[in-house]
A and B are shown apart, each in its own frame.
Chain A
Amino acid sequence: MTDKKKTGHLNRRSALTLMGAAGLIGPSMIGRDRAFAANADATGQLVLAFSQEPTVFNPLMPHIEVDEGVYYAVFDTLFDFDPDGEFFPILAAEVPTVANGGISEDGLSWTLKLKEGVTWHDGTPFTAEDVKFSLELTMDPDFRSFRSTGYKFMRNITVVSDTELTWEMSEPFAPMAAILASTYIIPKHAFEGVEDKNSAPFNNAPIGTGPFKFKNRMAGDHIELEANADYHMDGPFLKTLIIKYVPDLNVMYTQFKSGDIDVIGLQYITPDHLAEAETLAGKVVTVAGTATFESIGLNMTRPQFQDLAVRKALYAALDKTSIIDALYYGVPTPTETYMPQQSYYYNDSLPKHEFDLEKAKALLDEAGWVPGSDGIREKDGVRLEFSNSTTAGNHLREQAQQFIQQTFAEIGVKMEIKNFPPAVMWGDYWMNSEFDSVVVGLNTLAGADPDTSDYFMSTMSPTLGGAGQNTFAYQNPKVDELLVKGASSFVPEERKAIYEEMQAVIREDLPFLPVFQYAVIKGWKDDVTGPAPNVNNRIDTWNVRDWKRG
């Protein structure tokens, strides 16, 4: 606290610029292609705080974002995404592509080559059998598996040698690579003789191949991890990594100020603290975009929303700038799409939103929506009246709703606010599309892959008899066609064109009114190096192997 040295903190604008730059310098910074190095010289301790508690330590079981904070330290995936969205190998010797023969031309046969000389934390050698076991466990009907997407197409996993395995796909499915990039590999030998794999001892004493070993956990407080001296990549450079659970965001920020926390993680610094945080001595504070976008989602089965003119008018009557600046302290970035602006697949030429009440009124007049006796517009017996729901108690969103309610009222649209506690809101009410409209923050991507079939494919709506997350009940044959085409192409340039077109179609169609792309305020002590924003991963520790102090 005595050191008043001004540090290289960033303001939000330059931070966003820098994030782009981070994409460029990222790969060299993270040393992904540096040679295998000894790491017995790992020093120091680092306290990383999360506002939720990691409790699930088997990465293949259902878990939440914060649990992955531990997985990246303890486990490895076969390969992962860098901030640019490029793959880099971890347990794999090389990332399978059509070009290197890892994936056949038709996308149906995969060959995976693994690194040699990798060992588990208990000293057992890591082999292709472990990968086979992890993939098969994910598909095991008796196992409480986190995901089935993609895996339902996987067949005949065959171990060729200790460092090579192959499998077949029943359908070409390009997002499989991204799914594999978030599938952590667990040791087969830890499950030998275990009858019920859902309650294996491993689940609370994880053994991985990752940069840190799981040392102990104090429930409700912290998890202590220690450096894995035999790590197969460069790093780790920290002797001890403490993942600390701090349940309250004000308290978390206070402990960051007092120095008890070295890196402030998930849920981060709240926007109301940004101005002060940027002036803290000895701290680096930076704003980073995330893959989650905020939107007003419309239930497309409601008669009010069938008319494109209505959706366009509502969008024109949405005062985005005021919401972002007045309520969110200008931290998030306005967006026109579901695709994060840092993504390779982002379409940057979408028409820009303009807040224009006159235009909104004109659109409705033109389409024949005329104000009734109470000023609410109607057409063919349908009144422009609907409810809007979100999580009760999310004050920023609740204020945003009131804001939106007012501007909508000015164009003759009545929006009633109808909020629920999280469990009700995101239960059947959301899944079965029982809402009229919602304010929701969504990440529609499965990892870094641009495929969003789960959310936008017409067959994925539970209320229309599907089994996915298309809760807006959006049906557009063109989007369906593009999704199918995109998921079966393995060439990034080809896919970029497909998904850019899709973003344009959805921007024109407006099944949801995009508001902004979320950004979070990260902070760490200025003697810490390594933390780097990566929109392609769910949590900060994606490169914890590279973090160091001093």
Chain B
Amino acid sequence: MLRYLASRLGQSLLLLLIVSFIGFAVLNLAPGGPLSQFALSPGMTQEQIDKIASQMGLDRPLPVQYLDWFSHLVVGDWGTSYRDGQPVLHVIGSHLFATLLLMGTATVISVSLGSTIGIFSALKRGSTFDYTMTVLAMIALSIPTFWFGLIAIYVFSLSLGWLPAGNMYTVGDGSVLDYLRHLIMPAVVLALVDVAIWSRYMRTSTLNVINQDFVRTARAKGLTRRRVLLKHVVGNSLVPMITLAGLQLPMVLGGALVTETVFTWPGMGRLFLDSLGYSDYPVVMGLLMASALLVLIGNLAADLIVALIDPRIRLD
């Protein structure tokens, strides 16, 4: 187990190094750069832009800039944003709450609702319920989030006036109820697609388990349907879902660009796009490294948990 962990960690570090190298190279080799946005400012001269570039160290050779950035990173200094001069970790941290709130709520809705629908669809395979859910899932998967979000705003904000048209809270209010009112629409819009995905996976997984020998044995030895379902079926069909959840972790923190844009939610997805747009390299690199780290952690955690609860799997 320890040897397995050590080798996984070693691989992960190597992978992070490669990610950082490629990310840095691609970002910096792309034309433009953080100062190009000032090129059309009234009164700005090329001379002045060159001076600022030199003050910011942007005129040094790329390998030197990379080593400088990397040597700071390993001692925990993620750099400062070109846009607002704040430390990168602070910038990321300031978007974390909004992202966790939205993605967390959406994930809770999608996992609980999706799993339940999936299990019942499997149990009542071929029923009207199963067919209805299958069709609904297909529809949900094919609707573009942007369109769905705007329709939701049109119906619930503009026409009915029940919910705010966006934003995380009303400035000056910010009570729990206020947050909730703002949260409902984006969370549901975001969860919708995931409910569809989770229900499809859960349905397949449950069907697999139901047809296994141990389920038939349990039924044969006289356990009630309910007991077989809760004790034997659900637990076992959730095992593959753990891996799926592991893959979901980086997404929870990565934010949802489209939903955040439609509902003006100040999350991580917007931060990434804005930072990219302004060539705010330190923040983009920070987000890249953080998400790479989360992918690795999510996968590792999923593998470890599966190994812990599934005795058939040994990590060596």
13 contacts between A and B (CB under 8 A): A1-B161, A149-B45, A218-B94, A240-B171, A244-B167, A247-B270, A254-B165, A258-B153, A260-B167, A427-B32, A431-B39, A454-B43, A462-B46
Q: Interface with B: A77-85, A140-148, A333-341, which one?
A: A140-148
In contact, B55 and A147 (Cβ under 8 angstroms): no
Q: Which residues of B contact A (CB under 8 A)?
A: 30-33, 35-48, 51-52, 55-56, 80, 83-86, 91, 94-95, 98, 150, 153-154, 157-158, 161, 164-168, 171-172, 261-264, 266-267, 270-271, 274, 279
- A427-451 residues at the B interface, CB under 8 angstroms: 427-428, 430-431, 442-447
In contact, B279 and A423 (Cβ under 8 angstroms): yes
CB distance from A270 to the nearest CB of B (A): 15
8 Å CB contact of B36 from A47, A221, A426: A426
In contact, A199 and B85 (Cβ under 8 angstroms): yes
* Residues of A with C-beta under 8 A to B55: 142, 144, 198
In contact, A53 and B274 (Cβ under 8 angstroms): yes
* Residues of A with C-beta under 8 A to B36: 422-423, 426-427
8 Å CB contact of B261 from A247, A426, A445: A247
In contact, B98 and A204 (Cβ under 8 angstroms): no
Q: How far is it, in angstroms, between the C-alpha of A149 and the C-alpha of B47 when the chains are bound?
A: 11
CB distance from A549 to the nearest CB of B (A): 14
Q: How far is it, in angstroms, between the C-alpha of A366 and the C-alpha of B135 when the chains are bound?
A: 70
In contact, B32 and A422 (Cβ under 8 angstroms): yes
In contact, A251 and B264 (Cβ under 8 angstroms): yes
In contact, B262 and A220 (Cβ under 8 angstroms): no
* Residues of B with C-beta under 8 A to A251: 150, 166, 261-264
Instruction: Report if A545 contacts B (CB, 8 A).
Output: no
Instruction: Report if A257 contacts B (CB, 8 A).
Output: yes
In contact, B85 and A467 (Cβ under 8 angstroms): no
In contact, A64 and B266 (Cβ under 8 angstroms): no
In contact, B150 and A254 (Cβ under 8 angstroms): yes
In contact, A204 and B86 (Cβ under 8 angstroms): yes
Closest 9 CB pairs of A and B: A423-B32, A220-B266, A221-B266, A258-B165, A55-B84, A467-B47, A55-B83, A219-B94, A424-B31
In contact, B165 and A260 (Cβ under 8 angstroms): yes
CB distance from B179 to the nearest CB of A (A): 13
Mark each residue of chain A from 381 to 404: 1 if its CB lies under 8 Å from any CB of chain B, else 0.
Answer: 000000000000000000000000
Q: How far is it, in angstroms, between the C-alpha of A210 and the C-alpha of B167 when the chains are bound?
A: 28
Mark each residue of chain A from 137 to 175: 1 if its CB lies under 8 Å from any CB of chain B, else 0.
Answer: 000011011111100000000000000000000000000
CB distance from A419 to the nearest CB of B (A): 14
8 Å CB contact of B45 from A199, A224, A468: A468
In contact, B44 and A147 (Cβ under 8 angstroms): yes
8 Å CB contact of A250 from B31, B150, B263: B150
Most A CB within 10 A of own CB, among B41, B150, B262: B41
Instruction: Report if A248 contacts B (CB, 8 A).
Output: yes
Instruction: Report if A179 contacts B (CB, 8 A).
Output: yes
* Residues of B with C-beta under 8 A to A219: 84, 86, 91, 94-95, 266, 271
Q: Which residues of A contact B (CB under 8 A)?
A: 1, 45, 47, 53, 55-57, 62, 64, 141-142, 144-149, 179, 198-199, 203-204, 218-222, 224, 240, 242, 244-248, 250-251, 254-255, 257-258, 260, 421-424, 426-428, 430-431, 442-447, 454, 462, 467-469, 538
Across the two chains, which residue of chain A brings its CB closest to B90?
Answer: A219
* Residues of B with C-beta under 8 A to A257: 158
Given contacts A144-B52, A247-B261, A423-B31, whether A64 and B158 have CB atoms under 8 Å apart is: no
* Residues of B with C-beta under 8 A to A242: 171
8 Å CB contact of B172 from A45, A57, A446: A45
Q: How far is it, in angstroms, between the C-alpha of A454 and the C-alpha of B86 when the chains are bound?
A: 33
8 Å CB contact of A246 from B32, B43, B171, B264: B264
Given contacts A240-B172, A427-B36, whether A255 and B45 have CB atoms under 8 Å apart is: no
Give the A-B contact count at a CB cut-off of 8 A.
Answer: 160
CB distance from A178 to the nearest CB of B (A): 9
In contact, A454 and B33 (Cβ under 8 angstroms): no
In contact, B262 and A248 (Cβ under 8 angstroms): yes
* Residues of A with C-beta under 8 A to B83: 55-56
In contact, A454 and B52 (Cβ under 8 angstroms): no
Q: How far is it, in angstroms, between the C-alpha of A426 and the C-alpha of B94 when the chains are bound?
A: 31
Q: How far is it, in angstroms, between the C-alpha of A80 and the C-alpha of B67 when the chains are bound?
A: 46
CB distance from B301 to the nearest CB of A (A): 28
* Residues of B with C-beta under 8 A to A445: 42
Q: How far is it, in angstroms, between the C-alpha of A454 and the C-alpha of B264 when the chains are bound?
A: 39
In contact, B264 and A221 (Cβ under 8 angstroms): yes
In contact, B267 and A467 (Cβ under 8 angstroms): no
* Residues of B with C-beta under 8 A to A430: 39
Most A CB within 10 A of own CB, among B44, B98, B271: B44
CB distance from B274 to the nearest CB of A (A): 6
Across the two chains, which residue of chain B brings its CB closest to A247?
Answer: B261
Q: How far is it, in angstroms, between the C-alpha of A57 and the C-alpha of B86 when the chains are bound?
A: 12
8 Å CB contact of B80 from A53, A56, A199, A258: A199
8 Å CB contact of A220 from B47, B164, B270: B270
* Residues of A with C-beta under 8 A to B80: 199
In contact, A62 and B30 (Cβ under 8 angstroms): no
Given contacts A56-B83, A222-B171, whether A144 and B56 have CB atoms under 8 Å apart is: yes
Given contacts A218-B266, A219-B95, A240-B171, whether A258 and B42 have CB atoms under 8 Å apart is: no
* Residues of A with C-beta under 8 A to B37: 64
In contact, B41 and A64 (Cβ under 8 angstroms): yes
In contact, A220 and B84 (Cβ under 8 angstroms): no
* Residues of A with C-beta under 8 A to B267: 220
Q: How far is it, in angstroms, between the C-alpha of A19 and the C-alpha of B116 when the chains are bound?
A: 62
Most B CB within 10 A of own CB, among A1, A248, A444, A447: A248
* Residues of A with C-beta under 8 A to B158: 1, 254, 257-258
Q: A56-B85, A221-B98 are in contact. List 18 more A-B contacts (CB 8 A).
A: A47-B171, A56-B84, A147-B44, A198-B85, A204-B86, A218-B94, A219-B94, A247-B261, A248-B262, A248-B264, A254-B153, A254-B166, A422-B36, A423-B32, A428-B31, A444-B42, A446-B43, A468-B45
Q: How far is it, in angstroms, between the C-alpha of A146 and the C-alpha of B38 when the chains are bound?
A: 9
In contact, A469 and B32 (Cβ under 8 angstroms): no
8 Å CB contact of B165 from A149, A255, A444: A255
Given contacts A222-B171, A251-B261, whether A423 and B30 have CB atoms under 8 Å apart is: yes
* Residues of B with C-beta under 8 A to A248: 261-262, 264
Q: How far is it, in angstroms, between the C-alpha of A203 and the C-alpha of B37 when the chains are bound?
A: 20
* Residues of A with C-beta under 8 A to B39: 426-427, 430-431
In contact, A467 and B46 (Cβ under 8 angstroms): yes
CB distance from B257 to the nearest CB of A (A): 10
8 Å CB contact of B264 from A141, A149, A247, A431: A247
* Residues of B with C-beta under 8 A to A218: 94, 266
Q: How far is it, in angstroms, between the C-alpha of A145 and the C-alpha of B47 when the chains are bound?
A: 12
CB distance from A140 to the nearest CB of B (A): 11
CB distance from A405 to the nearest CB of B (A): 25
CB distance from A114 to the nearest CB of B (A): 24
Q: How far is it, in angstroms, between the C-alpha of A117 and the C-alpha of B270 when the chains are bound?
A: 44
In contact, B47 and A148 (Cβ under 8 angstroms): yes
In contact, A427 and B172 (Cβ under 8 angstroms): no
* Residues of B with C-beta under 8 A to A250: 150
In contact, A62 and B31 (Cβ under 8 angstroms): no
Q: How far is it, in angstroms, between the C-alpha of A180 and the C-alpha of B183 when the chains are bound?
A: 46
CB distance from B143 to the nearest CB of A (A): 17
In contact, B166 and A469 (Cβ under 8 angstroms): no
Q: How far is it, in angstroms, between the C-alpha of A149 and the C-alpha of B41 when the chains are bound?
A: 12
Most A CB within 10 A of own CB, among B46, B80, B150: B46
* Residues of A with C-beta under 8 A to B84: 55-57, 203-204, 219
In contact, A255 and B42 (Cβ under 8 angstroms): no
Q: How far is it, in angstroms, between the C-alpha of A444 and the C-alpha of B41 when the chains are bound?
A: 9
Across the two chains, which residue of chain A brings its CB closest to B270?
Answer: A220
Q: How far is it, in angstroms, between the C-alpha of A255 and the C-alpha of B167 when the chains are bound?
A: 10
